[in-house]
Structures are given as structure tokens and as C-alpha cells.
Structure 1
Amino acid sequence: MENKEEDVRVGANKFHEHQPIGTAAQSQDKDYKEPPPAPFIDAAEFASWSFYRAGIAEFIATFLFLYITVLTVMGVSKSDSKCATVGIQGIAWAFGGMIFALVYCTAGISGGHINPAVTFGLFLARKLSLNRAVFYMVMQCLGAICGAGVVKGFGKSLYMAKGGGANVVAHGYTKGSGLGAEIVGTFVLVYTVFSATDAKRSARDSHVPILAPLPIGFAVFLVHLATIPITGTGINPARSLGAAIIYNKSHAWDDHWVFWVGPFIGAALAALYHQVVIRAIPFKSK
């Protein structure tokens, strides 16, 4: 126990944050390696099997994500008594739990994005190239469409009668409220992604063991608990698009822009906050 306490003391005090404003938050003698920025466009990736393998992994992961989560939503929607189902808490657990499992499975192949907003945020932080980001987003959307399509195939009449898991701004809330909920919810998710995968964590917080997919999945769970009553919780444009295309009713498209604009703004703000404020990476160390 004494050694543990010493590890905590060293981990908390080893790095000092007393640099003047405008200088990097990390010291020159850091004991971790910061990955170099990804090129804006990397044409060499098109000749690499790992590039296409990563895209396939994103497709399958998003397919499975929509399959499990929309099927859970349908199970809750079809029952007259929510007490006989997993309820809203169960839906939130389905979304968070699947993200935890799928990020764990695909992180070593594609990074485990499973969400165009996450991909967009990481692209802004120069964690991946533009061509890889676009490829991921396309594969994520295709996977989402296929996942929702399989759920509809289980029971078309039920699927159409119960909303198909499509995201809409709930009655009693304005589109502005829905947009705000999507911005803040996505900020929470993408900021958690940045924090959980930060290279600096392995050095400074080595005394706090953490499995990155766990806080990411838990963030998704918590955001769903908060915003399901407002928007059904999008925070993932591919998830919203897949359900909207398969459901394909006019009211699902009326608010659809909210589930793209909100997540992309939230992701951009999270990238800006983490890179500029938390890490101060754009500034040079003195």
C-alpha cells in the first residue's frame, strides 16, 4: 500500500504546469511520445490493405451498433407497459455497452470511431488524414443503414408503427433545444475520447490504470440518459442517418439536420478545447 501511495504522489507531482500562458502544457523532458500529426491527404493509404481493413471494421462495427441498439429501442416501443421492458435506462445501457464492446474490438484496427462526429473531431486534431476520415464516414453510414435495415426486416409493420428508432426533436422542445442537446452531448463524448486516448495519460496517470473503451462507453450511456427525452439522442450522424433512411417518413427528415450540425459542432468544440486549452499543442514550448 505504501508503494501505491508513492506512485500516486509521483504521478501527481512529476509534471509541472507552471509554464507562462502561450507555452505548451507538456515539458521538454516528457517521458511519453506524442504521435506526429497525420498528413492532410495521404495518397499512399490507398495502396495499403490496412486502410481498407480499417474501413471494413468501421462498417461492421456500425452495423452491429445499429442492429443491437435499434432492436432494443423497438423492444421497448412495442410494449404498452415500460415496466415489462428494459426501459429508457436499458436503451441507454444498450448504446453505451455496445460502444464499449465495439471500441474495444476495433480500436487496434481502425481506432474504433463508429461515429462520423468522432472521426471529424479526430481529423481536426490531425489524428488521421482527410481521405481516411471521409472513407470512415462513408463506411459508418453504410453500416448504419444496413444495421437498421436488418431490424426492419424482422418486422416491417412494427418497425414503421413505432418510429424505427429515428431521431426527432421531441414534442415540447424547439429545434434550438435539440441542437443544443446534440452539441453538448457530442462534446461530452468526443472530449472523453480525446482524454481516454491521450498519449500523455500513459506517463502522467500511469498510477491510474484505465481501459479507454470503458469511459467512452460510459459517456455514451450518460448522455443517452440525459437526452433521450429531448432528441432520442443522436450524437452520431451515422446512427441518425441509418435509422432515418430505413424509416423514411417525412417527420424524421424535418429535424434531421440537427443530428448532423449538432454533433459536428460539438466534436469541433471538443477538439478545440482539448488541443488548445488542455494540451496547448499549437503553442511552442519555451
Structure 2
Amino acid sequence: MSHTYQIQLYWEKVIDRLFEQEDEKWLKKKVQGIEERGQNLQRITFHIHPYHRRAYENHTYIRYLLSVSLLVKAGRYDFLEEGHYRGEAHFVGDRWLNHWITTEKQGGESSSKPLPADLIEKREQKAHRFTYNRREAVRYADRWWDSYNPAYRHFDVDCTNYVSQCLRAGGAPTWGAPNRTKGWWYGRGTWSYSWSVAHALRWYLGGARQGLTATEVSSADQLSPGDVICYDFQGNGRFDHNTFVVKKDANGMPLVNAHTYNSRHRYWAYEDSTAYTPEIQYKFYKIDG
């Protein structure tokens, strides 16, 4: 039996026993969360896409992309949640030995550097209003959720770059170029840290008083399509991930799109993430304009 076929059979068994299986706890949390929110999982499908094989002596490692689609009925409406996740299976000869799946990749360009002091301007300055087209921002988010706009650089950790592109598509104004440690902007071959680094964008949104500005709110239900959620998975004060709100579910809670491990119409809380910890902290930002 080929290694790829064994991976296929593994996921068929997981899907057949969604609520009983314990091997993929992240997926069990996802479907349990759907039920707990009073929604109904109508259908779940998956595809595997092997993309790398590494072998030495009698050991073989197969890396693959797992694509999962969930059709969810929420009240009178249906929506499709989609996601792509990275998996790796370890074989000794033809025997399945171990397996890993990752739904989030943390870090990114300069994510460990101290936050620049001049990323935002003085808080006492008066904020300038701008016109923000939420419909265009969401349209962009859905157009590029699973691909990459060639007008922008694609990053290995791409979540914040993607969110920034969505904001810009809605007309959010940039400022600060060419200083990478100041403002929020993208130019030819260069960009601000706040454009591409999760922690930097969180601090920018929390304090900017010109260009792109936002207002922090206390709960996710206060957000609308076109807004931003920031995630600190470890609860240590350093934010690892950002998502873009594209819909509200039947309960008025956000569904989000994200890049790096690309996903669409995912429930905002990320309790089904392999990066989730009980210490997770969120920041909720309503975009001004």
C-alpha cells in the first residue's frame, strides 16, 4: 500500500468518526463548536495534496496539504468554511509511524524584534477621518483568500500582509514611507513593519491617529465585515496572527478569512487551532472611516 494511499485512508477514517476520533483534536473541536453554536454540519469533504517526499535509510517523510471544506447550515442560511492545513506523515518502510498537522504558523518577518517607538505618532494628535469601503475590502478578501495578488510580495508567514491588502483595497490610506519603522504602507520592494508583522499591526491599530485608524472594541460581536482581529495565542503579550472579518453568522458572530495556512469563513475564536492555548488573548478593531 503506497504512503499516499495510507494518508488518504487515515483521513477517511477520521472524517467517518468525526465526533468519536481523538487523533485530530483540532478537527473535533471545530465540529463540536459548530454544534455548540446551534448550527448544523451538512457536509464535510477533504483532499490531500502531497508536495514533498524525504527519505533516508528506511524512513520516509511525506509532507502534504490537507484541504477541508465544511458546509454549515446556520438558521436560514448556509455557508462554506474552507481551509488548507499542512500535514506530515512519517513511515518506516511501509509502516505508518507518526503524523503531524499544523493549522497555524506563527512568527514572521522581524516578529521577534522590539517594536519601533515611532511606529505610531503621538496619541494627542487629532485623528483624520477617511472613507473606508467595507464592501470592496471584503470582496478583495474573498477574491484572494486562496491565492496571491502578484502586485504584492508573498511572505512565508502571510497573514498580516493579506489583512493589510484587504484594508488597502477598501481605501484605507497609507503613510510613513519610506521609513519601515513608521506608519503603515507598502511601496516598490519595501513596506512598513506594520504592513507585514502581526505584532506591529496590532500596536499600530491600537494607537494610530492618522492614515489608517481603528477603534478597539471589547467583544467580537461588535465587529462588522471589514474589521480586524488580532491573536496572541500564548497570552504573553506578543501577537502572532491577524484575521479579516468577512461575514457574520446567524448568531451575529464574525467569520474570518486568513492567509499563511489559508482559510475562508472560519469562526473567529480559533479554538480549533493547533496553536490555541487557554491563555489566548484577542484584540478587536473596528476600522474607522
TM tier, shorter chain? Answer: under 0.3
In terms of fraction of residues, the more helix-rich structure is 1
Alignment TM-score, normalising by the size of structure 1? 0.25
Query: Which is strand-richer, 1 or 2?
Result: 2
* Greater length-normalized contact order (CA 8 Å, ≥ 6 residues apart): 1
